[in-house]
Amino acid sequence: MNKRIKIFDTTLRDGEQSPGASMNVDEKIRVAHQLEKLKVDIIEAGFPIASDGDFDAVKKVANAVKDCQVAGLARANKKDIDRAWEALKKGANPRIHTFIATSDIHLKHKLKKSREEVLEAAVAAVKHAKSYTDNIEFSAEDAVRSDVDYLCRVVEAVIKAGATTVNIPDTVGYAIPSEFGQLIKTIHDQVPNIDETVISVHCHNDLGLAVANSLAAIENGAGQVECTINGIGERAGNASLEEIVMAIRTRGDLLKYTTGIATENLYPTSRLVTHITGMVVQPNKAIVGANAFAHEAGIHQDGVLKEKSTYEIMTPESVGLSHNLLVLGKHSGRHAFKERIKELGYDLDDKNLEKTFVRFKSLADKKKEIFDEDLDAIIADEVIRIPDKYKLVYLNVSSGTVTVPTATVQMEVDGEMRQKAGFGVGPVDAVYETIAKITKTKSKLVRYSVSSITSGMDAQGEVTVRVEEEGKTVIGQGAHTDIIVASAKAYINAMNKLEYRKKKIWTDLP
């Protein structure tokens, strides 16, 4: 019987620490429910001590999720652990995840503690966590660059103190697979009480080896893998959940393991995280990228048409990706529309279903073909949003080779109608200058990107902007068949997020 590998998803914690990828409470809950549908084993919901916003998010996720464990991160001290438990305690199966660095470089320069002091702090933290729950995970931060004998001492001691999961992170993405696999094997062989716990690994992708290192660890005794949707996270990101899971599933001839992941929900989950964070998946990204199942070369096309397995090692359907056109149009009713939304992995209440249905009907009048990606964009635009201080009411743009780009914008600001006109070096610039006048923003546009959601001349355009103000960065998104309108909606979405941040409704992790 194949060994069951636990999937620990840290999209809501480590993934959210990607620059500009912060989520508000409602967005975290939405992702958590999707992760629950994906059937991950553990959701790390955040770092409760980091801020009141993060505490609230962890608490609400823990209370909302029933079918998998919810973890909260805590440094190896009583204050952090108490705060984590306060957020987690009403959850169905809460886990306290406490950590302290074990490498000499961290001890000397960051902690300014001796090895013995760190060992004592680790044991004390686990014992204190055990006063709340038996579900305790301990992480030896920067384990890869730690002295192996000392690392084994720490692992043995925290297991004895009550840790039921021991995590060996490659915190800075330094290891290569053969080296990391050997480290896990050494711990497995040298720690006498290792059978009393689950070995976990948490690999970063600084050298592009996070997934390879995670698989090497599994082959050498690890029973849990920590990863994120789309591989998002600090710096170059984390090990990608979808890549690990599909590698195990696809190469069952060599990897005699299994996971509980409902793989048909991988693509919808990837899309949801992309829409919420604004971090667009590269087209050639494995498993969930736009080109993952695309074939352009004539030889490849000929082979796939004759037998898919000639150039496809997994089916699009196995990860929840359908290449069929959405058979809905302007004459389609709510029932058919609702069923298609459910198939895409969304569970909308009546109010949001009606909003998206109205947008769908409007789009169906403009486009010949409606794709699943169009529905994703509509839902992201209408549902996955924070309450609006600013709303776009009217937009008119004049531009051309012999015309100075001019924009007239009417917006609703806290229920009051405001209208202004402005000029720019181009139509988008004119719109943004005018919106800036109305909102009186002091923010700076850091990034502007536009992509076609689907193929065809009538495709919707999806605009993503990154806006910065007073050291805080937010992502704004908008979709529309008119790219200028999409641009305006993206910028206004960013303005709304900035307003939320000013009110401290949600904050970044440190």
- The tens digit of pLDDT for each residue in 358-402 reads 888 888 887 766 777 678 778 877 776 666 789 999 999 999 988
- The tens digit of pLDDT for each residue in 181-203 reads 999 999 999 999 999 999 999 99
**Residue 325, pLDDT score:** 42
Q: Which residue has the tokens 């966590």?
A: 129
Q: How far is CA 68 from the centre of its chain?
A: 17
- Has residue 253 got a pLDDT over 60? yes
- Has residue 178 got a pLDDT over 90? yes
- Rounded to two decimals, what is the model's pTM? 0.79
136 close to 164: Cβ distance less than 8 angstroms:
yes
Query: How many CB atoms lie under 10 A from the CB of residue 120?
Result: 14
Query: How many CB atoms lie under 10 A from the CB of residue 455?
Result: 10
DSSP-derived 3-state class of residue 96: strand
- Report which DSSP code applies to 234: S
Query: How many CB atoms lie under 10 A from the CB of residue 363?
Result: 20
**Residue 189, pLDDT score:** 97
- The tens digit of pLDDT for each residue in 153-168 reads 999 999 999 999 999 9
- Has residue 507 got a pLDDT over 50? no
- The tens digit of pLDDT for each residue in 450-504 reads 887 666 666 778 898 989 888 777 888 888 889 999 999 999 989 988 887 766 4
Rounded CA separation 389/470 (Å) = 19
Give the pLDDT band (50/70/90) at residue 100. Answer: very high
**What percent of the chain clears pLDDT 90, i.e. is strictly above it?**
62
Q: Which residue has the tokens 């999707």?
A: 34
- Has residue 146 got a pLDDT over 50? yes
